[in-house]
Structure formats: structure tokens, C-alpha cells
Structure 1
Amino acid sequence: MAGGWTRDGATQEQIDASVEDAVQQARSQLNQGESLAHCEECGCAIPKARREAIPGVRMCVQCQQQLEKQQTASSGINRRGSKDSQLR
């Protein structure tokens, strides 16, 4: 049930669009191709078990954790259709 100026189902469409955006972003970040033997950031050897578990891996665990921490800090909340985003 929509309220105010929205039509019925608009809230669910907004949720579905947000989920689809998140799925597309996650898929775009998947590694592809051959795994590297050494980290492209620090040059440390990447263990064979990690290369086999994650096809296309390009970084050691430490560098990957740092990258993910930076990405998490810089990514905001998806405010598609919210009043806050319309005011900006």
C-alpha cells in the first residue's frame, strides 16, 4: 500500500531497483581470468590454496582487506527516490 503521492507498488519497485544495483555492482567486481602468483599491490606470494579457492585472485589477503575497507568507507547508502536525494 502506497501513501501520499506514490502509486501502489512504488516502494517495492524502489527496493527491487536497489537490490539489482547492488547485484550488478558485486558482479562487476568479481575477478576473472588467471590468478596471480604474487600480489599486484605488495608483491607478496599468494598461497596456492587462495588461488585455487578464488579464481582470478590478484591480491594477498591483507591487501584485499585494505581495499575492501576503503571501498566500504567510501560507499554511501543508496538513497534512490528518497527525499534527501531529491533535495541535493
Structure 2
Amino acid sequence: MAGGWTRDGAVQDQIDDTVADAVSAARSRMPRGESLEYCAVCGEDIPEKRRQALPGVRNCIACQATADKRTAHAGINRRGSKDSQLR
């Protein structure tokens, strides 16, 4: 149920676009290539199972968890209302 000048289903289109953008961004951040045997940050061994599960992995689990905490994900504002623009 869209309101104003939008057509019916516009809200679902916005939701679908937001999900598609998030999936695309996550895929672009995935490692590629050959995995390292040792962590690029701390030098610890990267377990064989991790290297097989994530081709192209560069960090051990602990260093990757730290890096993930530092990463801020800025969303795209698709609402367009004045209140959402001010936040």
C-alpha cells in the first residue's frame, strides 16, 4: 500500500533494492584468489578448514573478527522523507 504519488508495490520495490544492494556489497567484499597459510595481520597459522571454506582468505578468525567490528556499514536512504534526511 503505497501512498502519495507512488504506485502500489513501490515500498516492496524499495525493500528488494535494499536487499539486493546489501547482497552485492557483501559479495564484493568477499576474498578472492589463493588463501594465505599465515594471517596477514598477526602471522598466526590459518586453519586448513578455513582456507578451504573461504578461498582467498587473508586473516585468521580473531583478526577478521576485529576487522569486522571496525567496519561501519552505511546504508542508503531510500525513504526520501525530511525526517530520514536529517538523521
* Fold shared per TM-score above 0.5: yes
Letter of the structure 1 residue corresponding to residue 45 of structure 2: A
Which sections of structure 2, spanning at least 5 residues, go unmatched?
A: none
Work out the CA distance in 2 between the residues paired with 1:51 and 1:33: 11
Where does structure 1 lack aligned partners over 5 or more consecutive residues? Answer: none
- Please give the root-mean-square deviation of Cα atoms over the aligned residues, in Å: 1.8
TM-score, scaled to structure 1: 0.82
1:4 Cα offset (Å): 2.6
User: How many Å apart are 1:82 and its aligned residue?
Assistant: 3.7
Whether 1:80 aligns to 2:78 is: yes
Identity %: 52
Q: Provide the aligned length of Structure 1 versus Structure 2.
A: 85
Equivalent-residue separation in structure 2 for 1:16 and 1:27 (angstroms): 17
Q: What residue in structure 1 maps to residue 38 of structure 2?
A: 38
Deviation per CA, 1:37-59, whole angstroms, max 9, x where unpaired? 11111111112221122211110
Q: Distance in 2 between matches of 1:7 and 1:15?
A: 15
TM-score (norm 2): 0.83
Distance 2:50 2:36 in 1: 10
